Amino acid sequence: MSLRGMRETVGALVLAAAVLFAAGQAMAASTSPSPLIGISIESVGPYDNYTTAGEGVDNGDGTYTLAGVGYGTNFNCDWSITVNPDPFVTGNFTLTNLSTFTQTFVLTVSLPVTPALPGPNVMGGYFGDLTYTDFNNSGAVTVSTIGLNPFYSARIDGSEVVPLGSFTATASGGPGVVGTVSQHNFGTPIPSDPAPAVNSSIAFQIRFSLTGQDRVQFPAYFEVRPVPEPSSALLIGLGLLGFVAARKRS
């Protein structure tokens, strides 16, 4: 075989290996089992708790969705969560304080991660825009963070890795008044901040107080992604270079 023929063959083989590698990765993602998505909501003053977990509905694109209504004596919360085992977790929440007094709420959404992500990894996330509404038409509504606790906490293996958002927001002036808190984010473009290894789970936790019989609505998101292995990127690059070189010589 001529030198030219050998180069063309090597280029084609490397490209084929790269394509097979990518196809294997895609197949692994598409056949991931449905993850067990967990959500818990607690109110303090008086204490109330809602906890559930379930397998998401397969959306056919590698993501899974689970939705429901969390409820207690003193609150209810409409929620819809979408996850990807890669992993990321996102959700939309509408929580109403059913009591006549200000309460503290803690909402946690978690996603198990299998297999573990030893790193290096990157991460990013956000919450908001947040909308708070005078739902009982008293003419005022206040939502705020609690002491030194952030509104949003990104968590890996149960430990906080990023605190996000500290504020007291009040709207007043008439029945049904509405206020907003703009989006807070980190690791933009998401994900780009360095992240620790993930051994078992990722989660985000939301903590805030809300005036009696009023409502908040907000989205939240957290993603961790492995940094691509240099060998994989090199394999694909070599395949493409070999293919281009072979085409030029022909």
Q: For 15-45, how does the pLDDT look when each residue is reduced to its tens digit (9 = 90+)?
A: 444 444 444 444 444 445 678 999 999 998 7
Instruction: Decide the pairing of beta strands 215-226 and 121-127.
Output: antiparallel
94 and 70 together in one domain: yes
Q: How many domains does the chain have?
A: 2
Count of all residues that appear for the chain in the document: 250
Q: Is the pLDDT of residue 90 over 60?
A: yes
7 and 123 together in one domain: no
Asked if residue 213 belongs to a domain, the reply is: yes
Asked if residue 32 belongs to a domain, the reply is: no
Asked if residue 120 belongs to a domain, the reply is: yes
* 49 alpha-carbon distance from chain centroid: 23
DSSP label at residue 228? P
- Give 239's pLDDT tier (boundaries 50, 70, 90): low
17 and 76 together in one domain: no
Asked if residue 240 belongs to a domain, the reply is: yes
Asked if residue 18 belongs to a domain, the reply is: yes
pLDDT tens per residue across span 143-166: 999 999 999 999 999 999 999 999
* 23 alpha-carbon distance from chain centroid: 25
179 and 239 together in one domain: no
Asked if residue 31 belongs to a domain, the reply is: no
4 vs 95, more confident: 95
Q: Is the pTM of this model over 0.75?
A: yes
Q: Is the pLDDT of residue 170 over 60?
A: yes
CA-based nearest residue to 48, from 93, 98, 94: 98
239 lies in which domain range?
A: 3-26+231-249
Res 27: pLDDT: 40
Res 45: pLDDT: 78
Res 201: pLDDT: 97
**Across residues 200-206, what is the average pLDDT?**
98
Asked if residue 204 belongs to a domain, the reply is: yes
